[in-house]
Every structure is written in structure tokens, then in C-alpha cells.
Structure 1
Amino acid sequence: MKNTRTRSFIAGMLMANSAPHLATAAAGRRHLTPLAGKQSGPAVNGIWSAMNIAGAVLLLRADRGKLIRRWDDDLLAFGTGYLVIAAWMAGSERMFSTNHG
């Protein structure tokens, strides 16, 4: 991916997706992951969260050859990606009750 805005947007999505899985792992609960389905326990959620964080970091550091000390419009793209996934997760959970009774 050459476009830094696209990488930042996807990194934001990955970071947003990592949050509920990290919380699930810390709380010792179950939460759907692609690794083990609906019955994914805390360890699997911890692994999935770490994979999402690692992917986001790799995307954000893809241009590390350039010495950029401040965010530019990439921060807006990152935040937009985060909000898009957060809204999608909240809406889909509300409609389909995938992870709660």
C-alpha cells in the first residue's frame, strides 16, 4: 500500500478492533474471534488483540525511512478508521447480539 492515508485508516480499524479483545482477555471472558469462533476464550482474544495491534504498528511504521515527527492528515485517517470500526461493532452487536445474551 503506497497511500499513507489508507494505511493509517486501516491501522485505526485494527487498533479499534484490538480494544474489545484486549478487554475480553483481561476480564477472562469469551468473545468471537476468527481464530476460534464464538467460544474464543481469554487467551485467544489476547492473541487476536496482539495481532491487531502488531498489524496497526506495522502499517503505521511502513514509511519509517522518512523522519516524520508529527502527525499530518494521517491522524485524521487513523481516527476515522477507528470510529468506523467502533460504530460498526456497536451497531452489529446491537442488531445481532453476537457476543452477548
Structure 2
Amino acid sequence: MLVSNSAPHLATAITGRRHLTPLAGRDSGPGVNAVWGSINLLSGLLLLSPDRHRVPASWTNDLLAFEAGAAAFAIWMAASERLLRVNVRD
């Protein structure tokens, strides 16, 4: 979920737009999104880092869990944008 969440925030930072973050709310500019996206990306990668005591075959289950989380997050984001329009100014 963390790695997936980093993508829209980093993309927003690169394009110079605003996107909702817990750090500054609706007025989160590119800099805040870069920080929030980086925190998410680094945290997610830390959680995915290889464990020396892990059985190599267990990566399959971890990868499935990662992909399921990414898919669930994408569906949630699409639905929340459609219904709540949190990143659209009227």
C-alpha cells in the first residue's frame, strides 16, 4: 500500500500540481507531495526488503499480497475521487 500510495504523490510533485496529503490537507503543493510520496516509497521499500531468515519461496506470497494491496488501493482511490472529489476544486 505504501509503495502504491507513493506513485500519485510523486507524480503530482513532478507535474507541479496539488494533491491531498495528511501533512497539509487539500492545499498540499508539489513540495509536500514530494516529501509524502518519498516517505511512503521508502517505508514501503523498507518493509519489502529481503529478510535473511525468509524462505525464498515465500516471496511468491509476499508479491501476491503486495499486488492485492496495490489493486485495492487503486480501486479505493478511483472510487473516492469519483464520489468525494477530494482533489478537485469547485
Q: Same fold (TM over 0.5)?
A: yes
Show structure 2 runs of 5+ residues with no match: none
**Partner-residue secondary structure (3-state), 2:2:** helix
Deviations 1:57-80 (A, max 9, x none): 11112x522364883111110000
Of 67, 70, 73, 1:82 maps to 70
Deviations 1:5-47 (A, max 9, x none): xxxxxxxx11111111011000000000000110000010000
1:64 corresponds to which residue? Answer: 51
- Matched-pair identity in %: 52
2:29 corresponds to which residue? Answer: 41
**Cα distance between partner residues in 1 of 2:57 and 2:64:** 16
Structure with the larger RCO, 1 or 2 (CA within 8 Å, 6+ apart): 1
**Partner-residue secondary structure (3-state), 1:71:** helix
Scaled by the length of structure 2, what TM-score is found? 0.89
2:16 corresponds to which residue? Answer: 28
**Which runs of at least 4 in structure 1 moved beyond 4 Å after TM superposition?**
none
Aligned length: 88
